[in-house]
Structure 1
Amino acid sequence: MMYLKMYEIGGEKLLAVCDKWLIGKSFEEGEYILHVSEQFYKGEIATEEEVRSALMDATNINLVGEKAVRCAIDAGILREEGIIWIGGVPHAQIFVI
Protein backbone atom coordinates (compact mmCIF):
# COMPACT_ATOMS: atom_id res chain seq x y z
CA MET A 1 0.00 0.00 0.00
CA MET A 2 1.03 3.59 -0.63
CA TYR A 3 0.14 7.04 0.61
CA LEU A 4 -0.72 9.67 -1.98
CA LYS A 5 -0.98 13.38 -1.23
CA MET A 6 -1.58 16.11 -3.83
CA TYR A 7 -0.79 19.76 -3.16
CA GLU A 8 -1.96 22.59 -5.41
CA ILE A 9 0.33 25.60 -5.27
CA GLY A 10 -0.02 28.53 -7.65
CA GLY A 11 -1.45 26.45 -10.48
CA GLU A 12 1.14 23.70 -10.02
CA LYS A 13 0.34 20.23 -8.68
CA LEU A 14 2.87 18.68 -6.33
CA LEU A 15 2.37 14.96 -5.77
CA ALA A 16 3.94 13.11 -2.83
CA VAL A 17 3.80 9.31 -2.88
CA CYS A 18 5.45 6.85 -0.50
CA ASP A 19 5.21 3.22 0.47
CA LYS A 20 3.06 3.01 3.61
CA TRP A 21 5.66 1.34 5.83
CA LEU A 22 8.12 4.21 5.33
CA ILE A 23 6.03 6.91 7.04
CA GLY A 24 7.85 8.54 9.93
CA LYS A 25 11.20 6.88 9.19
CA SER A 26 14.55 8.42 8.28
CA PHE A 27 17.30 7.02 6.09
CA GLU A 28 20.92 8.06 5.53
CA GLU A 29 23.42 7.47 2.77
CA GLY A 30 26.67 9.43 2.95
CA GLU A 31 25.74 13.11 3.00
CA TYR A 32 22.08 12.43 2.12
CA ILE A 33 19.33 12.22 4.71
CA LEU A 34 15.79 11.32 3.73
CA HIS A 35 13.01 11.86 6.27
CA VAL A 36 9.63 10.49 5.21
CA SER A 37 7.51 12.87 7.26
CA GLU A 38 3.85 12.24 7.99
CA GLN A 39 3.08 15.91 7.42
CA PHE A 40 4.36 15.85 3.83
CA TYR A 41 3.63 12.30 2.64
CA LYS A 42 0.69 10.94 4.63
CA GLY A 43 -2.41 11.49 2.58
CA GLU A 44 -4.89 8.94 1.34
CA ILE A 45 -4.14 5.24 0.94
CA ALA A 46 -3.96 4.66 -2.81
CA THR A 47 -3.85 1.74 -5.23
CA GLU A 48 -1.24 1.48 -7.97
CA GLU A 49 -3.88 2.54 -10.49
CA GLU A 50 -4.75 5.65 -8.45
CA VAL A 51 -1.07 6.56 -8.14
CA ARG A 52 -0.47 6.14 -11.89
CA SER A 53 -3.47 8.39 -12.61
CA ALA A 54 -2.24 11.07 -10.19
CA LEU A 55 1.26 10.90 -11.72
CA MET A 56 -0.18 11.96 -15.07
CA ASP A 57 -1.84 15.02 -13.50
CA ALA A 58 1.14 16.31 -11.47
CA THR A 59 3.77 18.88 -12.41
CA ASN A 60 6.18 18.04 -9.57
CA ILE A 61 6.46 14.52 -8.17
CA ASN A 62 8.25 13.22 -5.08
CA LEU A 63 8.43 9.43 -4.71
CA VAL A 64 9.83 7.27 -1.91
CA GLY A 65 9.81 3.47 -1.75
CA GLU A 66 9.89 0.56 -4.15
CA LYS A 67 6.15 0.50 -4.93
CA ALA A 68 5.92 4.27 -5.43
CA VAL A 69 8.97 4.38 -7.70
CA ARG A 70 7.81 1.29 -9.63
CA CYS A 71 4.48 3.01 -10.42
CA ALA A 72 6.34 5.88 -12.11
CA ILE A 73 8.56 3.48 -14.05
CA ASP A 74 5.54 1.45 -15.18
CA ALA A 75 3.77 4.68 -16.20
CA GLY A 76 6.75 5.53 -18.41
CA ILE A 77 7.65 8.79 -16.68
CA LEU A 78 10.74 7.60 -14.79
CA ARG A 79 13.77 5.60 -15.83
CA GLU A 80 15.96 3.51 -13.52
CA GLU A 81 18.79 6.06 -13.94
CA GLY A 82 16.58 8.70 -12.31
CA ILE A 83 16.45 6.88 -8.98
CA ILE A 84 18.76 7.53 -6.05
CA TRP A 85 19.08 5.11 -3.16
CA ILE A 86 19.27 6.47 0.38
CA GLY A 87 19.77 3.91 3.13
CA GLY A 88 18.52 1.16 0.83
CA VAL A 89 15.32 3.03 -0.07
CA PRO A 90 14.66 4.29 -3.64
CA HIS A 91 13.79 7.96 -4.05
CA ALA A 92 13.00 10.03 -7.14
CA GLN A 93 11.85 13.52 -7.98
CA ILE A 94 10.24 14.39 -11.28
CA PHE A 95 9.64 17.89 -12.62
CA VAL A 96 7.40 18.46 -15.62
CA ILE A 97 8.65 21.42 -17.64
Structure 2
Amino acid sequence: MRGRFWVKVFRRGGHVLVAICDEELIGKTLRDEGMNVEVRRSFYGGRNLGLDDTIKALKEGTVVNLMGNEIVSVALRLRLVHPEAIVKIANVAHAQIVHL
Protein backbone atom coordinates (compact mmCIF):
# COMPACT_ATOMS: atom_id res chain seq x y z
CA MET A 1 0.00 0.00 0.00
CA ARG A 2 1.40 3.36 -1.05
CA GLY A 3 -0.74 5.26 1.41
CA ARG A 4 -1.40 8.53 -0.49
CA PHE A 5 -4.93 9.78 -0.88
CA TRP A 6 -6.88 12.81 -2.07
CA VAL A 7 -9.03 14.14 0.77
CA LYS A 8 -11.58 16.94 0.68
CA VAL A 9 -13.67 18.07 3.65
CA PHE A 10 -16.99 19.90 3.28
CA ARG A 11 -18.62 21.48 6.35
CA ARG A 12 -22.25 22.56 6.49
CA GLY A 13 -24.08 23.17 9.73
CA GLY A 14 -23.23 20.33 12.08
CA HIS A 15 -22.34 17.94 9.28
CA VAL A 16 -18.91 17.08 7.93
CA LEU A 17 -18.72 15.36 4.54
CA VAL A 18 -15.34 13.78 3.88
CA ALA A 19 -14.55 12.61 0.34
CA ILE A 20 -11.48 10.38 -0.04
CA CYS A 21 -10.08 8.62 -3.08
CA ASP A 22 -6.92 6.68 -3.83
CA GLU A 23 -4.28 9.00 -5.25
CA GLU A 24 -4.16 7.47 -8.73
CA LEU A 25 -7.92 7.70 -9.32
CA ILE A 26 -8.24 11.49 -9.33
CA GLY A 27 -9.49 12.74 -12.69
CA LYS A 28 -10.38 9.27 -14.00
CA THR A 29 -13.72 8.00 -15.25
CA LEU A 30 -14.72 4.50 -14.18
CA ARG A 31 -16.87 2.70 -16.73
CA ASP A 32 -18.88 -0.36 -15.79
CA GLU A 33 -22.03 -1.88 -17.31
CA GLY A 34 -23.38 1.32 -18.84
CA MET A 35 -22.45 3.42 -15.82
CA ASN A 36 -19.80 6.13 -15.81
CA VAL A 37 -18.47 7.44 -12.50
CA GLU A 38 -16.15 10.44 -12.64
CA VAL A 39 -13.63 10.77 -9.83
CA ARG A 40 -13.62 14.55 -10.01
CA ARG A 41 -10.92 16.79 -8.62
CA SER A 42 -13.67 19.26 -7.64
CA PHE A 43 -15.14 16.67 -5.26
CA TYR A 44 -12.15 14.64 -4.04
CA GLY A 45 -9.18 16.91 -4.77
CA GLY A 46 -8.70 18.91 -1.61
CA ARG A 47 -5.39 17.81 -0.10
CA ASN A 48 -3.00 14.99 -0.98
CA LEU A 49 -2.37 13.27 2.35
CA GLY A 50 -0.50 10.33 3.79
CA LEU A 51 -2.21 7.49 5.60
CA ASP A 52 -2.16 8.90 9.15
CA ASP A 53 -3.71 12.26 8.20
CA THR A 54 -6.22 10.51 5.94
CA ILE A 55 -7.35 8.29 8.83
CA LYS A 56 -7.85 11.39 11.01
CA ALA A 57 -10.07 12.95 8.31
CA LEU A 58 -11.91 9.66 7.78
CA LYS A 59 -12.84 9.51 11.47
CA GLU A 60 -13.96 13.17 11.48
CA GLY A 61 -16.74 12.77 8.92
CA THR A 62 -20.42 12.45 9.68
CA VAL A 63 -20.78 11.38 6.05
CA VAL A 64 -17.84 9.78 4.27
CA ASN A 65 -17.50 8.93 0.57
CA LEU A 66 -14.69 6.47 -0.23
CA MET A 67 -13.47 5.60 -3.71
CA GLY A 68 -10.59 3.20 -4.24
CA ASN A 69 -9.38 -0.22 -3.22
CA GLU A 70 -6.74 1.15 -0.84
CA ILE A 71 -8.91 3.56 1.13
CA VAL A 72 -11.81 1.11 1.36
CA SER A 73 -9.37 -1.53 2.68
CA VAL A 74 -8.22 0.96 5.32
CA ALA A 75 -11.84 1.59 6.36
CA LEU A 76 -12.45 -2.17 6.54
CA ARG A 77 -9.41 -2.70 8.76
CA LEU A 78 -10.63 0.09 11.06
CA ARG A 79 -14.09 -1.56 11.12
CA LEU A 80 -15.73 1.60 9.78
CA VAL A 81 -17.24 -0.18 6.76
CA HIS A 82 -19.08 -3.50 6.64
CA PRO A 83 -17.89 -5.76 3.79
CA GLU A 84 -21.45 -6.00 2.43
CA ALA A 85 -21.61 -2.20 2.08
CA ILE A 86 -18.85 -2.17 -0.55
CA VAL A 87 -19.72 -1.95 -4.23
CA LYS A 88 -17.30 -2.42 -7.11
CA ILE A 89 -17.30 -0.10 -10.09
CA ALA A 90 -14.90 -1.26 -12.82
CA ASN A 91 -13.13 -3.35 -10.13
CA VAL A 92 -12.66 -0.27 -7.93
CA ALA A 93 -14.15 -0.39 -4.43
CA HIS A 94 -16.61 2.29 -3.34
CA ALA A 95 -18.29 2.73 0.04
CA GLN A 96 -20.15 5.35 2.00
CA ILE A 97 -20.35 5.85 5.74
CA VAL A 98 -23.18 7.76 7.41
CA HIS A 99 -23.24 8.49 11.14
CA LEU A 100 -26.77 9.38 12.24
Q: Is TM-score (shorter-chain normalized) higher than 0.5?
A: yes
1:58-87 deviation per Cα after TM superposition (whole angstroms, max 9, x unaligned):
100000111111121122111221110001
Q: Give 1:19-38 correspondences, 5 Å limit.
A: 19-38=22-41
The CA RMSD measured in Å over matched residues stands at: 1.2
**Is 1:58 aligned with 2:91?**
no
| Residue aligning to 2:78 | 75
Residue-pair matches, total: 97
For structure 1, the 5+ residue unaligned runs are none
**Is 1:10 aligned with 2:13?**
yes
1:12-53 deviation per Cα after TM superposition (whole angstroms, max 9, x unaligned):
000000011111111122253311001000011112221221
| Residue aligning to 2:92 | 89
| TM-score, length of structure 2 as denominator length | 0.89
| Residue aligning to 1:44 | 47
